[in-house]
Structure 1
Amino acid sequence: MGTLYLIGHGIGNEAETSPYALEILKKIPVLACEDTRKIKKLLSDFQIPQIPMSKKFISYFEHNEKIRISQIMEILKSGSDVGVMVSRGMPLISDPGYVLVRACYDENIPVKLASGPSAFLHALLISGLPTDKFLFLGFPPKKPGKQKNFFEKYKNLDVTLLFYESPRRVLKTLENLKEVFCEWYVSVCRELSKEHEEVIRGSYETVLKKLQDQEVLGEVVVALSKKI
């Protein structure tokens, strides 16, 4: 049996990629990637040879995950190791991988982790909001009604809530949720680990006003808390 490696890498700055992850990437013969072009560029940037040509890349993302699992499982059962990578950060965190990990355990195939940064943990630590108890919610629903219903379930929890949102939708989302979280504190964290990393934080009204006055660029993590 081969081993399945879950490989993390930088969320904005590839220097965050660990030496252990790079060692795994040097020896792994098969990589299942959310975006094969990005991962090939990563290997090139770190001068990791993609030769011998037997190093195989498999396109593996949310919408083809079920189809690819049988292919990846066959490779693992043949004795070859397989690495799983997503475009940024860690696999399985609002990204594919969980179903594959379950399939491996069902077949007694070992799973190992070459850990890396995660955007929501990075955001939590720089948000200025409480870190003792928190809940990560992934990507919320896009439609306003479903979105409100989704967050209503969590408004009475005494935890810091974190979620991912598109920079194009973050203002609209926060405006839509004002009725639910108007008394809460907010941190909008963007461009994490990049040169222009920014945390827009304060009361709900303060953050809304700041977002209305500027264009939001880059991937966004929103953190919400009843207290500071």
Structure 2
Amino acid sequence: MADPYSKPGLTLVSTPIGNLGDISLRAIEALRSADKILCEDTRVSKRLLEKHGIVSRLSNYHEHNAKLVRPKIIDGLKAGAKIVLISDAGTPSISDPGYQLVKACIKNDLKISTVPGPTALIAALTISGLPTDSFYFGGFLPNKRNARRKKLLEQKELETTLIFYDSAKRLLNSLKDANYCLGERSAAIARELTKIHEDVQRGNILELIEYYERNGPPKGEVVVVIGPPTKKPNVDQKELKLMLQELLSNNSLRDSVKLATDKLGVSRSIVYEQALNINKE
């Protein structure tokens, strides 16, 4: 039976998120059979095609030209072309203008098929160690603090795992905003997934803030995975203060906070704030 991509229409093909070996046989065949391949950056996509010996005409389709070239793509599909849409990495239509092309195809009653595969958000979620039965994907976190905090606060009441894309240079500020807006939660930061330097840092948000303050920001784009809110018991502030005063006399602030948090089972952010106040006295 002929595969859907062998017929005229638009096919969305997932490509590797890092390791070029993570491409399916169907994806390779779909790329080989295409009359045209739409991509974000021809230089990036050319490397993937050359690795698999695929010769095909690449054409740019990205957020800066999508509105201009979309009508021409629709005309080509109406004329019977087999067109493949890919992204630089992962599944097209996620955090890119691919969905607008799909919407235009639906409006024009054109055939659409998919060759599924890698996507960074699912890869990060599955190795984060955080709940996977329910999650919210919020795309890229905004550049500006006010917009970023607004977006985080909108998801505060969701009892589900949150996933965002972010840039390395903004990560520390994003984590601080997440701590401010969402409170103490478990989280994971995934970067360079499937590559040689694949790295996943896990802990609560404050621990991750401390880690990146010590070690500096990571390189490249990252996936931020934040666990659902956890219900913590109420804390007796007097008991907490007495415990911290004793702990701080013999331990570092970091160790004292950890010991008190573990013993009382309360929010680390509350303990940390109290410890800072004691140090200022």
User: In structure 1, what is the equivalent of residue 49 of structure 2?
Assistant: 43
Q: Deviations 1:69-91 (Å, cap 9, x if unpaired)? A: 11101111111110111100110
d(CA) in 1 for partners of 2:199, 2:219: 10
Using the TM superposition, give the Cα deviation of residue 197 of structure 1 relative to its aligned residue in structure 2, in angstroms. Answer: 1.0
Structure 2: segments with no counterpart, 5+ residues? 1-6, 231-281
Normalized per residue, the structure richer in helix is 2
Q: Deviations 1:126-153 (Å, cap 9, x if unpaired)? A: 0010111100000121111111111111
Q: What is the correspondence of 1:39-188 to structure 2 with a 5 Å cutoff?
A: 39-48=45-54, 50=55, 55-188=56-189
Mapped contact 2:152–2:182 kept (Cα < 8 A): no
Secondary structure of the structure 2 residue equivalent to 1:99: helix
Secondary structure of the structure 2 residue equivalent to 1:121: helix
Using the TM superposition, give the Cα deviation of residue 182 of structure 1 relative to its aligned residue in structure 2, in angstroms. Answer: 2.7
User: In structure 1, what is the equivalent of residue 251 of structure 2?
Assistant: none
* TM-score (normalised: structure 1): 0.94
d(CA) in 1 for partners of 2:157, 2:112: 37
Mapped contact 1:182–1:205 kept (Cα < 8 A): no
Q: Deviations 1:109-132 (Å, cap 9, x if unpaired)? A: 110101110000000000010111
State the AA in 1 paired with 2:77: L
User: In structure 1, what is the equivalent of residue 194 of structure 2?
Assistant: 193
d(CA) in 2 for partners of 1:33, 1:181: 36
Which residue of 23, 26, 32 corresponds with 2:38? 32
Deviates more, 1:27-36 or 1:213-222: 213-222
User: In structure 1, what is the equivalent of residue 222 of structure 2?
Assistant: 220
d(CA) in 2 for partners of 1:42, 1:197: 20
Which residue of 29, 54, 57 corresponds with 1:23? 29
Structure number with higher relative contact order (C-alpha < 8 Å, ≥ 6 residues apart)? 1
Q: How many residues align?
A: 223
Secondary structure of the structure 2 residue equivalent to 1:206: helix
* TM-score (normalised: structure 2): 0.77
CA RMSD of aligned residues (A): 1.4
d(CA) in 1 for partners of 2:105, 2:144: 35
Largest Rg, 1 or 2: 2
d(CA) in 2 for partners of 1:198, 1:41: 24
Structure 1: segments with no counterpart, 5+ residues? none
d(CA) in 2 for partners of 1:80, 1:66: 20
Runs of 4+ in 1 over 6 A off after TM superposition: none
State the AA in 2 paired with 1:154: Q
Using the TM superposition, give the Cα deviation of residue 36 of structure 1 relative to its aligned residue in structure 2, in angstroms. Answer: 1.1
In percent, how many aligned pairs have the same letter?
37
